[in-house]
Amino acid sequence: MRVLIAEDQLLLRDGLTRMLTAYGFDVVAAIDDGAGLAEALVSHRPDVAVVDVRLPPTFTDEGLRAAIAARSEVPGLPILILSQYVERLYARELLSDRNGAVGYLLKDRVGDVRQFVEAIRQIAAGGTVMDPEVVAQLLHQRDALAVLSPRERDVLRLMAEGRSNAANAAHLVIAEKSVNNHINALFAKLGLPPSGSDHRRVLAVLAYLDQ
């Protein structure tokens, strides 16, 4: 089975290469940045690609964007995304692809070699593998909507329509400060603390649209 690895950390990239080779996989490429990754995926068309979400040069979502771009050219190209943290937007992106052959695992799972290898084989066969922690957080996010107050749900609905806080306040005939208070409250209830990497308004809207 032919595998492509995209991982910027040398030790992990080398470790994955050695581990998969030991299990009989043929590592056709080991890439350390996002530049040209989509092209490499399409060119090699591996049986499975193991791709880190965050790659140089910006360490944001190069890996994911390259995987999505490659799958648009080669539908169903098997991709296993690795991430250090639960990236809910990325998980939702993977789940929305009906072609299957996708997976999302936290990097901690690589330590369980047998489980990791089995995940790769399952994805190569067209299956979907989701990390239990990712699933748990997605389910928690959906359940949390039930505890929002009617006014908080109104504010979230208007956010989903793309309205600003000022437009939201005008529509609901309340003070803009009150809108801000409702937004902060629903962020807390949805488990969306301040973060440098998550866009909380987007995540909150996705939670609303997924209900």
Q: pLDDT (tens digit, 9 = 90+) per residue, 95-151?
A: 667 688 888 898 988 889 999 999 999 999 988 888 877 766 665 666 667 788 989
38 lies in the same domain as 124: yes
- Structural domain boundaries, residue 181: 148-210
106 lies in the same domain as 202: no
DSSP 51-104: EESS-TTTTSSHHHHHHHHHHHHSTT--EEEEESS--HHHHHHHHT-TT--EEE
Residue ending a domain, among 89, 113, 136, is: 136
pLDDT score of 187 more than 50: yes
d(CA 69, CA 78): 13
Residue ending a domain, among 103, 136, 169, is: 136
For the domain that residue 119 is a member of, what is the CATH number? 3.40.50.2300
Sign for the pseudo-dihedral over CA of 80, 126, 29, 25: positive
62 lies in the same domain as 130: yes
Average pLDDT of the residues of the chain: 85
28 lies in the same domain as 124: yes
111 lies in the same domain as 21: yes
97 lies in the same domain as 189: no
CA atoms in the 13 A half-sphere facing the CB of 52: 25
pLDDT band for position 50 (cuts 50, 70, 90): very high
**What is the model's pLDDT at position 39?**
94
Q: How many domains does the chain have?
A: 2
128 lies in the same domain as 173: no
**What is the model's pLDDT at position 88?**
66
Q: Is position 143 within any domain?
A: no
Parallel, antiparallel, or unpaired for β 48-52 and 26-31?
unpaired
Placement of tokens 């969306």 in the chain = 192
97 lies in the same domain as 16: yes
108 lies in the same domain as 24: yes
Percent of the chain with pLDDT over 70: 80
Which pLDDT tens digit goes with each residue over 66-104?
998 999 899 999 999 998 877 766 666 666 676 888 888
Q: Is position 77 within any domain?
A: yes
**What is the model's pLDDT at position 197?**
44
11 lies in the same domain as 32: yes
For the domain that residue 158 is a member of, what is the CATH number? 1.10.10.10
**What is the model's pLDDT at position 75?**
92
130 lies in the same domain as 153: no
66 lies in the same domain as 102: yes
Ranges of H-type helices in the chain: 10-22, 37-44, 62-73, 88-95, 113-124, 132-144, 150-160, 165-172, 176-189, 200-210
Nearest Cα to Cα of residue 5 among 80, 72, 84: 80
Q: Is position 141 within any domain?
A: no
pLDDT score of 199 more than 60: no
Helix, strand, or coil (residue 30): strand
Q: Is position 159 within any domain?
A: yes
Residue ending a domain, among 136, 168, 186, is: 136
- Model pTM score: 0.68
In DSSP terms, which residues pair with 48 in a beta bridge?
3
The residue that leads in pLDDT, 206 or 55, is 55
Q: Is position 142 within any domain?
A: no
Which pLDDT tens digit goes with each residue over 15-25?
999 999 999 99
